[in-house]
Structure 1
Amino acid sequence: MSMGIRKLLGGAVLAAIVSTAALAAPPPGHAGNPVFPGWYADPEAAIFDNTYWIYPTTSLRYSEQVGFDAFSSPDLVHWTKHANVLAMKDIAWAKKALWAPAVIEKDGKYYFFFAANDIQSDKEVGGIGVAVADKPDGPYRDLIGKPLIDAFHNRAQPIDQFVFRDDDGTYYMIYGGWKHANIVKLKPDFTGVEPMADGTVFKEITPAKEYVEGPLMFKRNGKYYFMWSEGGWTGPDYSVAYAIGDSPMGPFKRIGKILQQDTTVATGAGHNSVFHVAKDDAWYIVYHRHPLGDKVGNHRQVAIEKMVFDNDGKILPVVMTTDGVEAHPLR
């Protein structure tokens, strides 16, 4: 491409063209990164009925974030878009900024946790809500008609929720922006929260001063892994770090970053989720990143890489690629 055409197109448009070209021709048997077209962020990864699902934030201006799309795949390579599985028109209290889904299945129902309105104080309406559907692709409907969490507790903005089921069947929600993370115990029907064994309802488990947002928890070999995002979400320094603890409440001591920008591949890599394929103990990290040369904060795309542990259970640094992962069918 000539320099004249590059100047005419501009960085953002050129990045989108380069990204689309890369998406159109991944190596044989690989997904390619980004894994599907469009501006999406904050991907939630889930496996339902031998199918991979990704539920991302629609990465547009806050006023245009009025619904969620979902994507499904039998093998991590071939993805099907399911448009508008949860729409703002079906959430009476939501006005803008639908963010960061967390989706789980329980007793044949699918529960879709989300943040809305980007509230800046307890005087505003918004926070974390929950919707329900009979199928992974919806349509989802508001479960309780109001936010599940609608205020700042321990100075944590009520956004970026993740739902974790422990081995004893207890469901916890870990959430929080503005550099603070809380854990709460969900009621069995997900209509609210209830006190934990020590009487605490909103327990702060912020793992490190570097914590910003995007918490995630999973359990492996009896240990609780807590992952989160650091840096600024619009900048190149956005990244993922983690800690390991002996309970969902921690304490968690930061081990270090495992995903960050690669100036030859992409920048702003963060807000992750994971796939765990139990049949062969395969792990994948799902995250968003910015195309090289693109300075528009909302131009984020979803990518998948392998996630590998060493013999001590530490997560090895993630190698960011444009090739993506090889096919891994679940059936």
Structure 2
Amino acid sequence: MRGAARPASCAASRRFRPRCGPDSGYGPPVPNRGAVRLLVLLLTASVLAVAAPALADEQVPRPVLNLDFPDPAVVATPNGLVAYSTGDRVPHAWSRSADGPWRRGPGLLTHRPTWSRDGGIWAVDVARVEGQWLLYYATPVRGIGETGRCVGVARSDSARGPFRPVGRAPLVCPTYARTPTAQDPLLPRDPTLPRAGVIDPSFFRDADGTAYLLYKTDRIPSTVRIVALAPSGQRVAPGATSLELVRSQGVLENPVVTQRPEGYVMLTSEGDWTRCGYATRWLRSVTLLDWAAAESGMLLDVDTTGVCGPGGADLVEGSGGRTLVFLHGWTCRSTDLPCTGTGKWDHKPRQRGIRAMYAAELGWVGGVPEVTDWLRAP
């Protein structure tokens, strides 16, 4: 019991009575078996720690970009790869190959739309639609608290911008926000969801050519919704109404969908993004608009990867059926090693935690994703 006094023992007073023994205080000391076991375990752990750190380090994935680059969205272009992250005006990075070297550049959004207020842009997605590069982003708005956000779209002739906001109203935004009426106002209003806005937009084009936007309703319970887009990708399709696909009582975010022969696969992040327990889960459904009977499993977590908080994942489908997944994870103390331990890494300034970008190759077994190889920076 913490704070309770313990009886004095020979072991405790041995420094002052070297000959003390049980009962009378004289005779040879009797070893404490629990203490001996603990000492053996500690010595064994020390030996293992000295003998095996290099091997352990070799097995831990390394980031391909060890700079703060959370929620990476990555696209392939004829000149290489371009990545976008959470941050002011959407910071970006580019590289000739997935393993780097990556070079980080400034924000690519020219300005916030008139319906936005100041604040960071969260978890974007970029897609090429009808010859234009489209940037879907979540920006702060008025009327729904300090962190409340809504989704807008911007366009550019180049994957590296600059991107200019499209339209005078949000693409997706609840009716209770102080903005012009959005094209998808989340009607009818669901009273079981918090008044917190929408984040994490993600573009998907189905095999029949229909374009969709997925997004998350913020806070908990969390939901992932989908709405059909016009062919240009810059507006909600006329008469379209968003549908709820998945609901969780905890945090479920960053939806990304791809289509496989066995069905549709969605990747989502779950948990607290500030902790090592943040993880990436997969779901699989035979239909795009109904996930009630979806299968589910864990793709990336700290126990199986060694990466602290592997989340914010995005997929890049390459030539020859190659699939790459980009994600972030916490590294600490200006090294490329994962943070270890518990707690919120954004609350530990001495650890200098950042969310670095990792990359891995995915294989598909029966339509289920699994990591086959981790990429490393050259």
Q: Which band: TM-score by shorter chain?
A: 0.7 to 0.9
Answering whether residue 145 of structure 2 is matched by residue 91 of structure 1, we say no
Q: Note the C-alpha offset of 1:139.
A: 0.6
Answer yes or no: is 1:273 the counterpart of 2:306: no
Residue in 2 that maps onto 1:117: 140
What does the per-residue CA deviation read over 1:281-301, in whole Å, with 9 as the maximum and x for residues that have no partner? 111111111121482267211
After TM superposition, give the deviation of residue 188 of structure 1 in Å. Answer: 2.3
Residue 230 of structure 1 is matched in structure 2 by: 270
Residue aligned with 2:109, SS: strand
After superposition, give the CA deviation of every residue in 1:217-263 in whole Å (9 maximum; x if it has no partner).
Answer: 01112521111111111112110111111222132524211101149
Shift in CA distance, 224/118, structure 1 to aligned 2, threshold 3 Å: farther
User: CA separation of 1:55/1:75 partners in 2, compared to 1, >3 Å: closer, same or farther?
Assistant: same
Q: Distance between the aligned counterparts of 2:124 and 2:284, measured in 1?
A: 24
3-state secondary structure, aligned to 2:359: strand
Considering Cα pairs closer than 8 Å and 6+ residues apart, tell me whether 1 or 2 has the greater RCO: 1
Matched, 1:128 2:128: no
Q: Distance in 2 between matches of 1:254 and 1:207?
A: 14
Partners of 1:128 and 1:161 within 8 A in 2: yes
Distance 1:121 1:213 in 2: 19
- Change in Cα spacing, 1:320 to 1:211, as seen in structure 2 (3 Å) is farther
RMSD: 3.0
Match of 1:69 in 2: 91
Counting aligned pairs with the same residue, the percent is 23
Match of 1:300 in 2: 355
Structure 2 runs not aligned, ≥5 long? 1-56, 176-185, 332-338, 348-352
- SS of equivalent residue, structure 1 residue 91: coil
**In the alignment, does 2:219 pair up with 1:206?**
no
Structure 1: any 5+ residue segments left out of the alignment?
Answer: 1-25, 59-65
Aligned-partner SS, 1:40: coil
Aligned to 1:68, the other structure's residue is in SS state: coil
CA distance in 1, matches of 2:304, 2:287: 36
Question: 1:270 corresponds to which letter in structure 2?
Answer: G
Post-superposition CA distance 1:144-197 (Å, at most 9, x none): 1331112173438410010001122111011103311100001223343236xx
Deviations 1:110-144 (A, max 9, x none): 11000011778499984001001111101111111
Distance 1:142 1:231, change over 3 A: same
SS in 1 for 2:200: coil
Residues 1:145 and 2:174 aligned together: no
Q: TM-score, normalised by structure 2?
A: 0.67
Q: Whole-Å Cα distance in 2 between the matches of residues 120 and 249 of structure 1? A: 31
Hey, what's the Cα distance between the residues in 2 that align with 1:34 and 1:124? 29
Superposed displacement of residue 49, structure 1:
2.4
The residue aligned with 1:35 is: 64
